[in-house]
Amino acid sequence: MTQTCLHLGQTLWFDGDPFANGIETARHETRGAVLVENGVIHAVGPAADLRSAYPWVEVEDHKDGLIVAGFVDAHAHYPQTGIIASWGKRLIDWLNSYTFPEEMRFGDRAYADEIAGRYLDFLLANGTTSVCSFCTIHPASVDAFFSAAADRNMRVFGGKTCMDRNAPDGLRDTAKSAYDDSRRLLEHWHDRGRASYVITPRFSPTSTPEQLETLGTLWAENPDCLMQTHLSEQTDEIAWVKGLYPQARDYLDTYEAYGLLGEKGLYGHAIHLEDREKNQLKDVGASLIHCPTSNTFIGSGLFDMAGLKSAGQQVGLATDTGGGSSFSMLRSMAAAYEIGQLRGTPLHAAELIWLATAGSARALHQHHRIGNLGAGMEADFIVLDLASTPEIAQRSTRAQEIWEALFPTIMMGDDRAISATYVAGRKVNG
């Protein structure tokens, strides 16, 4: 049975990258419409035109709500849901004090199921319809993540985290088991429904060269997969990497030497990059993933969004749960703005909302499916209330144009700003 609905409200979508081509790439209709048919967007345009063209379809009127693509979180750790906002550690201490003890619990499938379901429900409540997540070394954690996403029909990306050194007993695999487990999980989950498997070495300090090499081999055997890891998050981490890999030219070279640098590589954080690293990442078209609430929460540094984007780098935006201090991509946008201010290069509201939607989708090589409103796109979208609290309302009522109206929600909004969340055309929140 065909299911068709015409959603009315303000609409906002992009036909280009506002960093490269200006905010004119944004398309805003004060009275727009989105036609959804069987989970796919069929048309986007002025409400009057689409109502006239499709007079028979069911209508859902969101009034002044702003219809935008669902948020796309390009880097997260769903197993860290329960330890989010833990006090006072830098990266290496954070891993040892909070992350590793919690991840030990994910060999228990029932516990993994509980956290995966809770995590994805938190995302949907905050308007995030797609996420790319690290799991743990346990295959059960991967099965739990993809199963929970399938129950909610979400398009998600994830993989078994691989570590064979510098981790506690019980939280290490081997070069061989990392390859074998990852391959088995990839063959089971990749392109099954809306799931995509991601090859996932945690980072160079927790993998031996032998493990990185086997994962590079797996990626070469499955080049359509994404690969995710961490890069140059903190200065003491970089020093650690240089001690472990004395032959490497720089941090990136510890991946590059083992076949883990490529166009479909996702490199989380990427704050303290050397010139050679920047050039190599740009040359292969890799994606850098900005995690602003994490970078400020654990004192990592200030990502150079303006400099990297002006140089032509591909950049996505993320929460980095639970090093990041919020499940909300609105908070990630606000923190990205604040970091830009500290660097003297504040981001425009159009750039921020693009990063959280189309930009992250492009970083994940899924911009033909998610992250935007347009004919043929999957109908993952949200409705933003631009007056969700009295504090936001009193500011937005003074707005003279859409960016003035949207910016207070970016800076002060939370889950109350998400009037509704739709996944494949079905309302799942609000």
Q: Is the pLDDT of residue 270 over 90?
A: yes
- Give the pLDDT of residue 92: 78
Look at the domain 71-363 and name its fold: TIM Barrel (3.20.20)
The first and second tokens of residue 205, run together, are 């300090």
Percentage of the chain modeled with pLDDT above 90: 94
63-84 pLDDT tens trace: 999 999 999 999 999 999 999 9
- Give the pLDDT of residue 279: 98
**What mean pLDDT is predicted for residues 36-47?**
98
- Give the pLDDT of residue 165: 97
- Give the pLDDT of residue 95: 83
322-379 pLDDT tens trace: 888 999 999 999 999 999 999 999 999 999 999 999 999 999 999 999 999 999 999 9
151-to-116, 157, 311, 337, 373 alpha-carbon distances in Å: 11, 15, 41, 34, 24
198-232 pLDDT tens trace: 999 999 999 999 999 999 999 999 999 999 999 99
196-to-154, 259, 287 alpha-carbon distances in Å: 11, 20, 17
- Give the pLDDT of residue 2: 66
The first and second tokens of residue 179, run together, are 């390859």
Q: Is the pLDDT of residue 304 over 80?
A: yes
Q: Is the pLDDT of residue 430 over 90?
A: no
Beta carbons of 416 and 408 less than 8 angstroms apart: no
* Helix (H/G/I), strand (E/B), else coil: 290: strand
Q: Which long-range contacts (CB under 8 A, 24 or more apart) does 389-396 make?
A: 389/413, 389/416, 392/417
Give 52-112 as a DSSP string: HH-TTSEEEEEEEEEEEEPEEEEEEEGGGGGGTT--S--HHHHIIIIIHHHHGGGGSHHHH
- Give the pLDDT of residue 225: 98
Confidence of residue 49 (pLDDT cuts 50, 70, 90): very high
- Give the pLDDT of residue 87: 84
**What mean pLDDT is predicted for residues 181-201?**
98
Confidence of residue 1 (pLDDT cuts 50, 70, 90): low
- Give the pLDDT of residue 90: 75
- Give the pLDDT of residue 91: 74
User: What's the distance, CA 231 to chain centroid?
Assistant: 16
Q: Report domain extents, the chain.
A: 4-70+371-429, 71-363
Q: Is the pLDDT of residue 313 over 90?
A: yes
Write down how long the chain is.
430
For domain 4-70+371-429, give its CATH number from 1.10.10.10, 3.40.50.12140, 2.30.40.10, 3.40.50.1000: 2.30.40.10
Task: For the chain, report the end-to-end CA distance as a whole number of angstroms.
Answer: 25
* Helix (H/G/I), strand (E/B), else coil: 90: coil
**Average pLDDT of every residue of the chain:** 96
119-149 pLDDT tens trace: 999 999 999 999 999 999 999 999 999 999 9
**What mean pLDDT is predicted for residues 392-421?**
97
Q: Is the pLDDT of residue 30 over 90?
A: yes
Rounded distance, CA 71 to CA 198, Å? 19
Rg (CA), the chain: 21
